[in-house]
Amino acid sequence: MHDQPLTGAVALVTGAGSGIGAATARRLAGDGAAVTLVAHRRDRVVQVANDIARQGGEVVALEADITEADRADDMVQDTLDRFGRLDILVNNAEVRLLGSALHATIEEWDQMISLNVAGLVHVTHAALPHLIYAATTSPREVADLVNVGSAAERVVRPGSSVYGLTKSGLNAFTESLRQELLGERVRVSVVEPGAVDDGQENRLGDSARDAARWPTDGIEGLRPDDVADAISYIVTRERRVAVNGMLVRAGDQTW
């Protein structure tokens, strides 16, 4: 395979300011794609974009609240204005707020539903016509939509009720789109990471941090680059190959 198999392709990655999203953006740029990075914090996404630009990559950084449908539309249009097409969408943006149902606030639950579900739907809806068009005009003869889920959808733990709800919904959404878009040459995939050392735990409150930590105590977690490798593998396959799902657990993870 060519050293840069995505040369000429354009990718959009949400949640690209840190963790899996930042690692994925760097990896796809290394594979030759021009990349649009989206995050809700401009300082973080600009830093990642600068790293990619220093390596010679084509990149644009956007600050956007994708829970607003109009902003998701604008974000996709900004990508088209800058690069002229959209071949790959990686829906990675999420928030994970863990804690018991008794002690969680409705605001925390709404925040997860707004970003993990509504944000996913808004960006996908805005991008789909352009992915379909890209599949008909690209030398690759295919486009890719990758949704980043979680192993939490497969093994539910206490304290993750609404987070698990959002990831279960993501899986159902992904599978329906996969079947719908087969004839359009748009591959639809889900990547389900297990325990990842991505820094999210550090942004949780005390009780939620405890809930996030206890299932992973003693486990050497995945690194964001490990998940980025999986995403790169999916989108760099020849057209005849569709990797529709990939579960990536830490080596010591039992659940």
Which listed CATH number (3.10.20.30, 3.30.40.10, 3.40.50.720, 3.40.1110.10) goes with 10-248?
A: 3.40.50.720
Vertex 49 angle, CA 45 and 52, to 5°: 145
Contacts of 119 (CB under 8 A, 6+ apart): 14, 66, 67, 72, 93
Q: For 139-186, what is each residue's pLDDT tens digit? A: 999 999 999 999 887 887 889 999 999 999 999 999 999 999 999 999
Strand order in the sheet with 10-14: 59-63, 34-39, 10-14, 88-91, 143-148, 186-193, 245-248
> Helices 42-54 and 19-30, interaxial angle, to 10°?
20
Helix/strand/coil (H/E/C) assignment for every residue in the chain: CCCCCCCCCEEEEECCCCHHHHHHHHHHHHCCCEEEEEECCHHHHHHHHHHHHHCCCCEEEEECCCCCHHHHHHHHHHHHHHHCCCCEEEECCCCCCCCCCCCCCHHHHHHHHHHHHHHHHHHHHHHHHHHHHHHHHCCCCCEEEEEECCHHHCCCCCCCHHHHHHHHHHHHHHHHHHHHCHHHCEEEEEEEECCECCCHHHHCCHHHHHHHHHHHCCCCCECHHHHHHHHHHHHCCCCCCCCCEEEECCCCCCC
Q: For 3-43, what is each residue's pLDDT tens digit? A: 899 999 999 999 999 999 999 999 999 999 999 999 999 99
Question: Would you please indicate which residues are annotated as catalytic (active-site) residues?
Answer: 163
Is 208's pLDDT higher than 70?
Answer: no
Question: What pLDDT is recorded for position 214?
Answer: 47
Given a contact cutoff of 8 angstroms between Cβ atoms, the answer to whether 38 and 62 are in contact is yes
Share above pLDDT 70 across residues of the chain, in percent, rounded to a whole number: 92
> In the predicted model, what is the mean pLDDT of the chain?
92
Contacts of 144 (CB under 8 A, 6+ apart): 87, 88, 89, 131, 186, 187, 188, 189, 234, 235
Question: What pLDDT is recorded for position 199?
Answer: 62
Question: What pLDDT is recorded for position 64?
Answer: 95
**Range with lowest mean pLDDT among 6-20, 93-107, 116-130, 186-200:** 186-200
Is 91's pLDDT higher than 50?
Answer: yes
At residue 134, what is the residue type? A
Report which listed range, 20-29, 99-108, 200-209, is most confident: 20-29
Share above pLDDT 90 across residues of the chain, in percent, rounded to a whole number: 81
**Range with lowest mean pLDDT among 45-54, 168-177, 212-221, 223-232:** 212-221
Is 198's pLDDT higher than 80?
Answer: no
Question: What pLDDT is recorded for position 203?
Answer: 47
The residue-averaged pLDDT of 83-104 equals 96
Q: What is the pTM of this model?
A: 0.92
Domain ranges, ordered by start, for the chain:
10-248
Question: What pLDDT is recorded for position 156?
Answer: 79
What would the two tokens of residue 99 be? 């804690």
Q: How far apart are CA 105 and CA 111, in angstroms?
A: 10
Q: How far apart are CA 58 and CA 50, in angstroms?
A: 10
